[in-house]
Structures are given as C-alpha cells and as structure tokens.
Structure 1
C-alpha cells in the first residue's frame, strides 16, 4: 500500500473522529437530554448543541442587551448546552442569595492564575477564610482613615479640570468643537487607578500628575518592562470574555487563537498585565521588609488586626493585589463616567443634584475649596439616587456572573435544576425588568427615594448579591460620591452635541470609549455666595 493511500486513510479516520466528537456527539447529548434542559427555549437554534452562538454574540459586544430583549418573552433561556440565563427577578435569591447552594462555576477556575483571589475562589470554606482576612481592610471604619487618599486624588483631578475650563456656555449656544477638550472617561480612570493603588499599596502611580498610565511590569525572571496599564487590563478581560466558552475547550482555544492577529494582540497585552501586580506587590513587600508601617490593604494581607501574621503564600498575595487593581479601579471608573454622562443628558436631574449639594454645604464655604468632604454629602438622598440609577441603567459588570448548581441539584424559581448546570442572571437584564423598574430604559433617580427605593434594593445587582457580593462597594461609593459632588459643585459640563452617544463594548465589564466634554466653572447664585 502506497504512503499516499495510508496518509489518506489516516486523514479519513481523523476527519471522521473530529466529526463524531464535534458534531455527532453534541447532537446525541442534546437528544439524550440528561439534565432536562431541552424544555427551555434556546437563545439560538444551535444553543442546545454548541456554545458557538454565545461566542458569536460575545464578539458583537452587546450580549446582555440581546439577552434582555429575549427575556422580555421568556424568563429562562438556554444559552449553551449546559447553561441557563434567567430574567425573572425572583431568581436572584435562588442563584446569588446568602443561603444558595450554588457556587461559582468552572469559568472562574480556568481563568484563574496559580492562586485564587477573593473574586474567583470557588470553595466556600476557602472563600470564608479569605473574606475574614480581607474584611477588616474593607470595613467602613477604614474609610475614615483612607478618605484623605481619595481627597488627594480628587484635588489632583480638579486641578487638571481647571486647566481645561472654557468660557461658560450661553443658553441656546452650540458647543464649539475646540472647547470639547478633555476626556472625562480617561481622567476618572486615572483617578480610580491612582486611588486604589494608594489605598491598597500606598503606591503613588501618579497617573493624574503625568497624564498617562505608563507603568512597570515584572517578569518571573525578575526583569522589568514598560506598558500601558489600562490597555493591558482591558484587553486581557476582553479576550477571556470572547473565548471562555466552552469551558473544557478554553485552554486549547486560548492558545490556538494566538495565531490569529486579532487575538494575538490581546494575548500580548494580557501577558503584560500579569506582570503589573507582580511588580507592585514586589515594591510594596520591599517597603514592608524595610519596616515601614503603612495603613493600607497590603498590611491586612500580611497580618490580622491583632498583629498575627497571616502567612499567605506569595502567589496568593499577588492574586489579591491583582483583583484589587482590576476590580478596584475598572468598575468604579465606568460608574463615574456613566453617572456624569447620564446627568448631562438629563439636565433637570443634574439641576436637582446640584441644588441638593449646594444646600448641604455651608453658605460661607470658600468657593475655591476643590474637594468636598465625604461626611457632608454621603447621606444626600438624591445624590445617592443619581449614582444608583446610573448603576442600574448601565451596571459596570453587565455580564451574568455564572454559578453552578450543586451535585444534588437546586430549585430555581420553584423548578428543579440538576447538578452541574451553569446558571446566571445578568445585572443588565435584571435592571431592565419593567415589572419592577417602569420606564426601565430611562434615567429616573427618583425611583430610589423613600420606602419605594428601599424596596428595590434586593433586586439591585450592580455589586452582585449575597455572600459573594462586592467587598469593595463602600470604597467605590466613597470615591464616586466625593468626585461627583466635587465636580458638580465646581463645574458645568457639556457634550459635543445633545445626541452624542458614548461607545460601549461589553466584555464582562463595559469597555467605554472616550467621553470628551466641554467644562467651565460654575457661576454660583448670589444667595449661595452670601
């Protein structure tokens, strides 16, 4: 038999094997329907057989927006062979509540590093240990000790905005293109990165001073390199969001995809990101060994409140620094850009917020005071409502955070779901339910006021819910409140035109485009100036 015939035979066998595994086997599994998921409507005709439709949808950058439309008809949708998306708000308690038996699913395992951090650890006992270790660092009482770091960064942001102030916009006057001269999205992101680095590591990144996010990364061999932090962070997250489905194939898909230029570019940024928390942790550890006593998150990693060492492995420390720099900056920056964007788009809401801030401050307070103390504005109901309504309308993390049902299965919406099934509810989907949020696509801060507003809180998923809810929400609210109150007290803003729209691309979080604005100093009313 000739070598050519043998080669063809091997090729035929290989091709048949690929066909059986990738095509015929999924079809057989679909019709066997061991988990009984065929009773749920499919997101796409092929969703019960393959995750490819979900991956294609992810590449479109508006996955949750699409699911939200589907959920207007169906409360439960099958998004893949072994995954379900929920749109009924009652499912929040079943999937994410404090008493849920569901755990984080395998997506957190395959995207984790050598050590789990607080956000991706699956084991409940290990999570409880980590949460106990870190809760003291994130406690509300620490906000008082860290507020000066937030104030320092706010002052730097304000001084930069001062440099770009233009002449006041007259009623009916069109915005001049040359006056739209500062990207609010970029500079508030510099703020959150500078703030969390100082709060967490007593590290001065100085992005607000330098006007860029150039930073040093460290390779495993100890050599260093320079890179742009934001690009590395966001492209790393984007690649994962596009390719993580199906889970069992992700490690292979992730590697093979690197031969495609589109993904290879993201991979290079992802690799560069990995070295940033390593370098930041390395520098902070040197200061710790040198005997510096610093009031920051890193100190809580090293020992408990009684001074006893936690004896964490180095990989775990780096992992916690990594998620702190990631989640502690990205989502808050998205929220800051979103809320000002919504207020500019809704001037009547903006005016109400400004009036409330002005009323809360002393009439004789100096006009040149650039930073408003948190204590003066943290209990302002309308200001908080403006923040929460923006977080509702465009939650920084719109993607449904997947959970896995326990081996014995779980009841969700009174329906038994077998063990090992991935279930999720997108915050974007939850927040667009007209039954609880009338005119859900409108910016209406008033919905969060009074007893009616309190009744909405169990359905507010901007920080997730239950035991796995965001541990840093207090810090996020502190930063959002101080910055928003300070800039609304001092400035007025305008977009290039009333119909201008910010670009949004969904990964797990939103990737926001630039937000160029015109900014000018407010002219206070005489009554307020005394």
Structure 2
C-alpha cells in the first residue's frame, strides 16, 4: 500500500510538471524549465540561500530576454518602457494582486494583500486622506515633535562614548510616527524613542518577520499553527515565530484601544484625529471593521510605515557621514532654512526646494529601493500585449525596482552613490521612467508622501549646522548595501548595524 501510495504521488506530481511545461498558458514563455516546473526552485534561492532569487532572475533575464517565467504561475518583465503598462491606474483597467504573493504571513484582509481590485479600492479609500499631501501637511507639528524627540535623545549621549545603533534609532523614529498616525491617544505612552536603546526589539520584530516570508509563503499553514503554540514553547523552539505573535498582539492592542474609545460614543470620535479612530467610527460595513481585519491592517501599516523609511534614512546617513564634502555642502544648504529650529519648523514644501537634500534622498531611495522584490500584478479582465507575447487575463506579471534602478544605461555606475545625478540638468526622461521606489498605479505605496516628509525633516534636523556631531563606529558600506531580498532589501545578515558615536 505504501508503494502504491508513493507511486500515485509520483505520477500526480509528474502530471503537474508536464502540464506546467507543455500545456499551461505560460508554457510558451521563455525561461528556466526548472523554475517553470516547480516553486521549489524559487524557495531554494529565497529560503536556503536567504533572499537571493532576485539575482537569479537578473541572470535569467540576461540569458532568456526581457520577459521570462520565474515560477509556475508568474512572469517577470525587465523593460522600463513597459512599467506603466503593468502598474496602471484604475482609469485604464482593473488590477488584481497575485493571490500567492506573501501568502502565509497572515495579513490577508489588509488592503495591501487584498486580491480583488474593487475590494482593494474600498479598503484603501478610507486610509488615503491621512496620507495625502494635505493630510501630511496637517501632521507637520507631530513630525517636528518626534524629530525633536530623536534629536534630544541623541544629544543626551554626547561625549558618553556610548555606541548608538542608528538603524535602531531611525526605526524607533519612524515607528513612533506611524504609531501616532494610527492611534494617538494623547498619553504619550509606549513611545519607542523613550527606550534607552531605541527599542531594538521593535527593529528585531520587523526584520524577523520579513526574513520569514519565504518560509511562510511556501508553507502558508505554519503561521496558524504557530499561533496555537504556547509562547514559552515557541520561544524555545522557534524564536522568530514568536515575533509574529508579538507583532500581532501589538496591532490588536491598537485596534482594541481605538474601539474602546469610539464604542457608544460617536461624539468623542470627533475629537480623535487618529486613523483607526476614524475607521472604527466610519460607515464602513461591519465586516470591514472587525477587530481581526483591522488588526491585520494595523500590522501592515505599522511595519510598512517603519521598515523602508528607517532603512532609507540610515542609508542616507551612512553616505553623508562618510563623505565630508557632501556633509559640508548639505550643512551649507541647510544653514538658513534650519537657522531657527526648533522654534521655527520648515515645511515639507520648503524642504522640497533644497536641491542637495532632495538629491540625497532620491539617490538613497534609488539604491535602497523601498520594496526591492518584484510586485506581481494581475489583469483580471483583459489580456496584456508585450511585444510578440500575449499575456492572458489572470496571469501574474511582476517587475522589480532593483532591476529598474540598476540599469547602467540609465544610471551610469549604478552601484555608486552619486546624488549629483539628480541635479537639474542631469536628469533624463529615462531616469524618471526607471525610478520607481514607491511603485506606480492604483496599488502604489500608500505612505509615499509621509516617507518623503519624514526623510526630508529628520535629515535636515540631524545634518544642519550645529546638529549632532556623529562619528561612525566600525561601520562600512557592507552594513547598508543590499545583499538579500526579503521583500525589503537587507544588508549582510552578519551586520552589527549602522553604528555611531556622538562627539
């Protein structure tokens, strides 16, 4: 019986492989036959080799051409001219998410991973006012308060010879901002920046989760099993798995507090400005305002609003601190606009007019990518034509910011940090076309405006004349440069972080 069972399984999987290679709608597309036959090929690179599949995809593009099959269900395109045809606005056509993307991390129900186009729009729409340019302009006093808090904490360490993990500090900074947007009850409790070491556990939680994505995507039932295991056992057996429970519990605490504030008291909501107070008291259907769904929304917003922004701030800081001429020029540019800080806080609009500051941010985003991973999209209703290939409706197609940003024909010396390439007169149409750190289309990054405002202000605060006197401590380029693709890019896994002293 065992032999018969194993033989049946073998025949079943052989049949699947034969179908994928010869009868699937994707069988006509070029690429590795191994990648087309099984998802284990991608799993090998992203789990066993720890986030390396993107570089294998880059090699496959060089071998097979601009459109390739990267797994049994998905195509990858490397062609900047076609980016706006994949990542379209809803006025052009409906766009679904790929239902296998990040499956298993238990964020189903959040707007980001909502597959259906129309449901995604309904879930995202209530969030958009908080992240519009107008919404961010209303947050300027809060952003300034958190920026001053970070600066004050750093100045407390002046001359102490205490080594600061700047990546932890920036994670605490961004985490406090998105936390206050999502749920600010006015108490000031639980601020990450209050922790003596800048809340390293918050940084560790997010990075443990993203490093687990390949495993949970391949085995989507694991996360549900982990939730049933007592924390003491989980901590012993799989510490990284416990991080999911910690993260989920923090999100649920946010939602429960919002619900307790608004339940049976609509008038009190009128005085609440946080995002979740607004959603809990909104006229959205009851099913959309359940604790379980909103907790998943909170996890995505808290994690997404922390990780990429904090990484880019740390990335920019490394190059500012290692290039004395760049730092001096930035100080000179900031001298007037930051002369009365914190009494007078420059607006985001004012900081946007500073060429060098914005060039540093753009070059940092180009090389830190935001989300490095390909972001698959599905056209559910109509086929997509790419050159001689017709992509049928329902097929996932992805493109990567890494492949866009590393094109040597568009960005000469693409691996080098050269902010001057973004000065007026140097920017070409091809550069603008290939520059996609926030993605595009109807599913572009919700927090784009917030990220730009945060980065502009904190870099201006920290690197203005008379700002904190940082000195990097045992940190080199390998501590910031991407080496692994776990949705967001990470440097070498042995890094001790971006470390500095305050003189």
The yes-or-no answer on 1:275 pairing with 2:253 is: no
Task: Note if contact 1:68-1:429 (Cα within 8 Å) is conserved in structure 2.
Answer: yes
Aligned residue for 1:209?
194
- The one of 30, 47, 61 aligned to 2:35: 47
Once residues 441 and 463 of structure 1 are traced to their aligned partners in structure 2, the CA distance between those partners, rounded to angstroms, is 19
How many Å separate the matches in 1 of 2:421 and 2:445? 23
Q: What is the Cα deviation at residue 261 of structure 1?
A: 10
| Residue-by-residue CA offset, 1:37-76 (whole Å, 9 max, x unaligned) | 354122xx51121111211111223333443354345322
Which residue number in structure 2 is paired with residue 481 of structure 1? 456
Residue in structure 2 matched with residue 463 of structure 1 by the alignment: 438
Deviates most, 71-80 or 425-434: 71-80
The alpha carbon displacement at 1:356 in A equals 1.5
226, 233, 240: which one aligns with 2:213: 240
User: Max radius of gyration: which structure?
Assistant: 1
Give the superposition deviation at 1:399: 0.5
Give CA deviations for 1:263-310 in whole Å, capped at 9, x if unaligned: 943322223322221111112222334626222212331456xxx677
Residues 244-263 of structure 1 mapped to structure 2, 5 A cutoff: 244-245=217-218, 250-251=220-221
Matches of residues 180-329 of structure 1 in structure 2 within 5 Å? 181-203=163-185, 204=188, 205-211=190-196, 228-245=201-218, 250-251=220-221, 264-289=238-263, 291=268, 293-303=271-281, 312-314=288-290, 315-329=292-306
Q: Across the two proteins, how many residue pairs are aligned to each other?
A: 477
| Shift of residue 162, structure 1, vs aligned partner | 1.1
Deviation readout 1:155-205 (Å, 9 max, x if unpaired): 111112113334xxxxxxxxxxx9571110001101111111112210542
Compute the displacement of 1:262 (Å): 11
Gaps of 5+ in 1: 1-9, 167-177, 215-226, 522-530
Separation in 2, partners of 1:372, 1:331: 24
Aligned partner of residue 80 in structure 2, secondary structure: coil
Tell whether the 8 Å contact from 1:194 to 1:208 is kept in structure 2 after alignment.
yes
Write the distance in 2 (CA, Å) between the matches of 1:208 and 1:428: 32
Q: Cα–Cα, structure 1 residues 37 and 374, in superposed 2: closer, same or farther, change >3 Å?
A: same
- 1:440-519 to 2 correspondences below 5 Å: 440-450=414-424, 453=427, 455=429, 456-489=431-464, 490-496=467-473, 499-502=476-479, 504=482, 505-511=484-490, 513-519=495-501
Matched, 1:87 2:78: yes
For 2:313, the equivalent position in structure 1 comes to 336
> Superposition pairs for residues 416-431 of structure 1, below 5 Å?
416-431=390-405
Q: CA RMSD in A?
A: 3.3
Q: Can you give the 5+ residue segments of structure 2 that lack an aligned partner in the other structure?
A: none
Cα separation, 2, equivalents of 1:108 and 1:119: 10
Q: Verify the 8 A CA contact 2:80 2:433 in the aligned structure 1.
A: no
- Name the SS for the 1:48 alignment partner: helix
Deviation at 1:454, TM superposition (A): 7.0
Alignment of 1:347-358 (within 5 A): 347-358=324-335
Look up the match of 2:380: 406
Relative to the length of structure 2, the TM-score reads: 0.84
Give the match for residue 221 of structure 1: none
- For 1:102 and 1:452, how far apart are their aligned partners in 2? 34
